[in-house]
Amino acid sequence: MGNAKAIETLTFEDALGELETIVRSLESGQAPLEESITAYERGIKLKNHCDKKLKEAQEKIEKITIDKDGKLSTQPLDGE
């Protein structure tokens, strides 16, 4: 993991892919304990990064509405 990219620079997809790799590695039980601990700690940071990216995406989602005059507008999806 010495050349691992900074988590903040990863896209959601890259972070999720790396997290999946870490989970598979930990599940295999083949890595030495110290390596497993380091991987687990990075996995937690990757999970938090993915959560943040999903929240940011959710905040950007808008729904399109049409008023009674046929005018289009947008409003936050969770604004219902």
Domains of the chain, residue spans: 7-79
Angle at which helices 33-60 and 12-28 cross, to 10°: 150
**CATH fold of 7-79, please?**
Helix Hairpins (1.10.287)
Which phi and psi angles does 29 have, rounded to 5°?
A: 70, 15
Number of neighbours of residue 50 by Cβ within 10 angstroms: 18
As a whole number, mean pLDDT of residues 29-40 equals 94
As a whole number, mean pLDDT of residues 18-34 equals 95
Taking only the tens place, the pLDDT of each residue in 61-71 is 777 677 778 78
As a whole number, mean pLDDT of residues 42-64 equals 88
Q: Which two tokens stand for residue 15?
A: 């972070």
